[in-house]
Structures are given as C-alpha cells and as structure tokens.
C-alpha cells in the first residue's frame, strides 16, 4: 500500500523526463532511453525492497550496476544507467524532494570499459558487397545504407531521419541532426553518393510511384514508410551473416569508420567533430583500438625494430 506521506515516484519520474525534454532540450530517443533506465532501476529496487527515492544510498546504486552487468549488459549501457540515475537525483535535489545525492558518490570504474568491436578493411569490403550477392528486391537500398554507415559514420537515428534536401551531391557532404538535435556537416565518399543516387532513381522511385507519395526522407520501407531503426539493425545483421562475419550492429560500422580514420592519420579532434561527440573523452577510446598502427610506426621508424 502506498504511503500518502511519501512522494509519488511515478509522478517524480514523469516530471524529471519533462524537465529533460522542455528545459534541457534532449532528443526524444535520449529521453526514451532514460525512461527505460529508470524503469530498470525501479525493478531492481523492488527486488531488494527499496521503495522510495529517499531510501536509496550509494550501495544501492553500486549493487544496481553490478546487477545489470551480471545480466550481460554492455559497459555503454551501464554508463547510461548511471547517468540517468544521477540526473534523476540531481533533479530531486533541485525540487527539494531529497536532501542527499547518493549517485554523486558513485564513480564508474575505468576497468569496466570495453573496447569497441571493429571490422578490418577486408571485412568491410565483404559486408558492403554482400547485398550484390545475397540481396533481394531491396538490394540497392541496402547497399546504400551499408555504404553510408561506413563512409560517413552516421548513427542509425541520423540515417533513418536523413532528408533528401540534406544531401549535397556535388559538394559531397551531408547535413545530419544528431543527439540533442545538434546539426553537423559530414563529408561522404563518392561511391556512397552513387549508391544513394541509384536507390533514389530506382527502387525508391518505384516505391513512391506505387504508394503515390513524395516523402522528404531518403530511406523508405517497401511500403513507402520511413525506415525504422530495427530494420536497419536487421539489415546489417543479415548481410554480416551472409558475408561470413561475426554478429555486428550498425554501430560496428561507426566504430570501424572512426578507427580507420585515426589509422589513416586523422586527428582526434577532427574525428570527434565528424562523429558528433560532445566530449573528446568519448572519442579517445578509438586511440586504444588502433594498436597495430602504433606497432607499424615503431617497426618503420625505430632504428632497432
């Protein structure tokens, strides 16, 4: 039975999410992710019989992160869970529901960080050519998607929301809206633009004519709807399996894009800008991945290899 003297936790969470949306201007995807994080935190608290926000202490949050890790969640997910809980408790302190912030005392151990999985250039080529060998009626669209994920390093949400008017073919760049509705300009490979052009004048035009529509979004389903994130995930997994690669996600291509740029001599700041990272520490993880390049530099430059 709810204690009337205690705050309504559902209402507090809704107020927090409204604050993120209207006051902080966070993107809908980020807010939805935070909502799921808080639902998971509530589920854990129910298991250990912690009912109200004021009953949570530092140990509760540390146990929660360990509980999530034991369920096989990635380090990136654990970081976001902690970020959501921290934000929630800062909000509760602002509106004077609690007088302490247990989440501020929790530090995320650096040794929890896992290096991202990447593809080598040979594997990338195998994946990009998979639609030509194993594709169906959406072969050209799928090839254009894979090419764009790798040549521009876009997020899935950015790809799904890409509009025709934001592709500048002659100048060879895109304008995309990233996290927090921030816009950035990304150079894109000519080959990727060629596949997008083939899709626009071929498969996509057939879909639009059949559905009698003229949408602004580039990538469409076979029924003429905006392509969903889940479809992109399934597309990447399907062609990875067809190419004999281990299971990967669209983000694997983004990781590979960043790592190959650094391996080719790009600066960390430039890669940060291309990826749309607000904090360069997020980009720095790719410097740990490119060990082979460092070894090659040593072999080529040191007088005693």
C-alpha to C-alpha distance for 141 and 204, rounded to whole angstroms: 8
C-alpha to C-alpha distance for 106 and 141, rounded to whole angstroms: 45
Active-site residue identified among 79, 80, 86, 251: 251
Is-catalytic flag, 155?
yes
Active-site residue identified among 254, 255, 257, 260: 254
Active-site residue identified among 42, 166, 179, 200: 179
Q: Is 23 left (phi over 0), alpha (psi -120 to 50) or beta?
A: alpha
Active-site residue identified among 81, 143, 155, 260: 155
C-alpha to C-alpha distance for 235 and 290, rounded to whole angstroms: 27
C-alpha to C-alpha distance for 40 and 34, rounded to whole angstroms: 10
Active-site residue identified among 21, 129, 229, 277: 277
C-alpha to C-alpha distance for 62 and 154, rounded to whole angstroms: 33
Query: CA angle, corner 301, sides to 299 and 303, nearest 5?
Result: 85
Is-catalytic flag, 21?
no
Is-catalytic flag, 277?
yes
C-alpha to C-alpha distance for 256 and 246, rounded to whole angstroms: 14
Q: Could you tell me the two tokens for 85?
A: 């809980």
Active-site residue identified among 34, 199, 257, 286: 286
Active site residues: 155, 179, 251, 254, 277, 286
């Amino acid at each position: 039975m709810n204690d009337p003297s205690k705050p309504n936790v559902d209402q507090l969470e809704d107020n927090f999410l409204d604050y993120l949306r209207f006051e902080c201007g966070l993107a809908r995807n980020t807010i939805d992710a935070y909502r799921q994080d808080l639902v998971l935190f509530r589920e854990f608290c129910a298991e250990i019989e912690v009912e109200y926000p004021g009953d949570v202490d530092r140990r509760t949050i540390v146990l929660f992160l360990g509980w999530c890790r034991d369920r096989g969640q990635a380090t990136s997910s654990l970081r976001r869970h902690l970020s959501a809980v921290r934000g929630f408790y800062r909000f509760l302190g602002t509106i004077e529901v609690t007088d302490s912030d247990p989440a501020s005392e929790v530090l995320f151990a650096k040794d929890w960080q896992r290096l991202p999985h990447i593809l080598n250039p040979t594997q990338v080529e195998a994946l990009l050519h998979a639609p030509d060998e194993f594709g169906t009626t959406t072969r050209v669209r799928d090839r254009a998607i894979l090419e764009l994920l790798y040549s521009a390093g876009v997020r899935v949400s950015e790809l799904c929301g890409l509009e025709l008017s934001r592709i500048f073919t002659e100048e060879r760049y895109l304008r995309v809206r990233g996290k927090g509705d921030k816009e950035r300009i990304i150079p894109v490979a000519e080959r990727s633009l060629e596949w997008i052009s083939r899709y626009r004048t071929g498969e996509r035009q057939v879909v639009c004519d059949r559905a009698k529509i003229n949408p602004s979004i580039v990538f469409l389903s076979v029924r003429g709807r905006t392509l969903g994130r889940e479809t992109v995930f399934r597309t990447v997994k399907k062609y990875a399996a067809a190419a004999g690669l281990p299971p990967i996600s669209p983000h694997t291509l983004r990781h590979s894009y960043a790592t190959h740029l650094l391996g080719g001599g790009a600066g960390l700041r430039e890669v940060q800008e291309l990826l749309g990272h607000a904090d360069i520490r997020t980009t720095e993880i790719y410097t740990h991945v490119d060990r082979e390049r460092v070894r090659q530099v040593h072999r080529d430059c040191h007088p005693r290899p």
